[in-house]
Chain A
Amino acid sequence: MTTDTLPADTETVETAAPARPHYRVIGTRPVRPDGVEKVVGRALYGADIYLPGTLYGKVVRSPHAHARIRAIDVSRAAALPGVKAIATAADLPLVEDKILVTGEGSVNQRYQSMNTLARDKVLYHGHAVAAVAAVSPHIAEEAVALIEVDYEVLPAVIDVRDAMAAGAPVLHDDLRTAEEGRKLDGPTNVAEHLRYQRGDLARGFAEADVIVEREFVTATVHQGYIEPHATTVLANADGQITIWCSTQGAFAVREQTADILQTPISRIRVIPTEIGGGFGGKLTVYLEPIAALLSRKSGYRPVKMAMSRAEVFAATGPTSASVIRVKLGATRDGRITAAQAELIYAAGAFPGSPVGAGAGVIFNCYRIPNLQIDGYDVLTNQPRAGAYRAPGGTNAAFASETVIDEVCERIGMDPIEFRLRNGVREGDYRATGPVYARIGLRETLEAARRHPHYTAPLGGPNRGRGVASGYWGNWDGTSSASATVNPDGAVSLSEGSPDIGGSRASMAMILAETLGIDVTDVHPRIVDTDSVGYNDVTGGSRTTHGTGWAVYDLGKKLIAAMSQRAAHLWEVEPEAITFADGVFSCGDHALSFKELAGRLGEAGGPVMVSTTMETTGAGPGFATHLVDVEVDPETGKVTILRYTAVQDAGTAIHPSYVEGQMQGGVAQGIGWALNEEYVYDQAGRLVNASYLDYRIPTALDLPMIDTVIVEAPNPGHPLGVRGVGETPIVPPAAAVANAIYHATGIRMTTLPMSPPRLLEAILAKES
Chain B
Amino acid sequence: MITVWVPALLRDLTGGQEVIHMQAETVRQVIEQLDARYPGIAARLLVEGRLRPGLAVVINGEVSRQGLRRRLAPGSEIHFLPALSGGA
Contact = CB atoms under 8 A, between A and B. Distances in A.
B85 A434 contact: no
B77 A181 contact: no
Contacts of A360: 85-86, 88
Interface string B38-63: 00000111000000111100101111
A372 B79 CA distance: 16
Interface stretch (A326-334, A349-357, A705-713, A739-747): A349-357
B9 A356 contact: no
A255 interface: no
Nearest to B64: A616
B7 A180 contact: yes
A309 B58 CA distance: 41
Interface string A103-115: 1111000000000
A35 interface: no
Interface in B58-82: 58, 60-63, 65, 77, 79, 81-82
Nearest to A98: B53
Given A197-B8, A473-B87, A356 B82 contact: yes
Contacts of A264: none
A181 B8 CA distance: 12
Interface in A177-209: 179-182, 193-198
B18 A198 contact: yes
Given A179-B9, A435-B61, A357 B84 contact: yes
A495 interface: no
Given A99-B54, A182-B44, A433-B81, A197 B11 contact: yes
A657 to B, nearest CB: 21
Nearest to B59: A434
A476 to B, nearest CB: 7
B83 interface: yes
B88 A435 contact: no
Contacts of A472: 88
A617 B62 contact: yes
A612 B58 CA distance: 22
B79 A106 contact: no
A479 B62 CA distance: 17
B77 A356 contact: no
Nearest to A476: B87
Contacts of B2: none
A402 interface: no
Contacts of B10: 180-181
Contact of A181 (B52, B65, B79): B52
Contacts of A354: 84, 86
A433 B44 contact: no
B interface SS class: mixed
A432 B88 contact: yes
B85 A473 contact: yes
Contact of A105 (B8, B60, B81, B86): B86
Q: Considering residues A194, A433, A473, which has the most beta carbons from chain B within 10 angstroms of its beta carbon?
A: A433
B85 A181 contact: no
A473 B63 CA distance: 11
Interface in A139-186: 179-182
Contacts of B54: 99, 101, 106
Contacts of B9: 179-180, 193-195
Contact of B81 (A432, A436, A476): A432
B61 A104 contact: no
Interface range for A: 35 or more
A547 interface: no
A540 B87 CA distance: 8
B61 A540 contact: no
A433 B85 CA distance: 12
B86 A473 contact: yes
A435 B77 contact: yes
B7 to A, nearest CB: 5
B52 A356 contact: no
Contact of B85 (A198, A357, A435): A357
B14 to A, nearest CB: 12
A362 B71 CA distance: 32
Contacts of A614: 65
A251 interface: no
A618 B85 CA distance: 13
Contacts of A622: none
Given A99-B53, A106-B53, A180-B7, A434 B84 contact: no
Contacts of A101: 54, 83-84
A135 interface: no
B77 A618 contact: no
Contacts of B83: 101, 106
Given A195-B9, A432-B81, A434-B79, A473 B61 contact: no
A436 B61 contact: yes
B62 A364 contact: no
A391 B88 contact: no
A437 interface: yes
A181 B65 CA distance: 19
Given A99-B54, A436-B61, A473-B87, A181 B45 contact: yes
B39 to A, nearest CB: 14
A327 to B, nearest CB: 17
B88 A356 contact: yes
B87 A434 contact: no
Nearest to B61: A434
A128 interface: no
A179 B11 CA distance: 12
Nearest to B12: A180
Given A179-B9, A433-B58, A434-B79, A106 B84 contact: yes
Given A101-B83, A194-B82, A357 B88 contact: yes
B53 to A, nearest CB: 4
Nearest to B47: A181
Contacts of A352: 84
Nearest to B44: A181
A474 B52 contact: no
9 contacts: A101-B84, A106-B53, A106-B54, A179-B9, A193-B9, A430-B88, A475-B86, A476-B87, A716-B62
Given A357-B88, A434-B60, 7 more contacts: A101-B83, A103-B87, A180-B9, A360-B86, A432-B85, A472-B88, A475-B86
Interface of A: 99, 101, 103-106, 179-182, 193-198, 352, 354, 356-357, 359-361, 364, 372, 387, 391, 430, 432-437, 472-476, 540, 614, 616-618, 716
10 closest A-B pairs (Cβ-Cβ)? A360-B88, A181-B44, A473-B88, A99-B53, A197-B8, A180-B9, A475-B87, A195-B8, A433-B79, A356-B85
Interface of B: 5, 7-11, 18, 43-45, 52-55, 58, 60-63, 65, 77, 79, 81-88
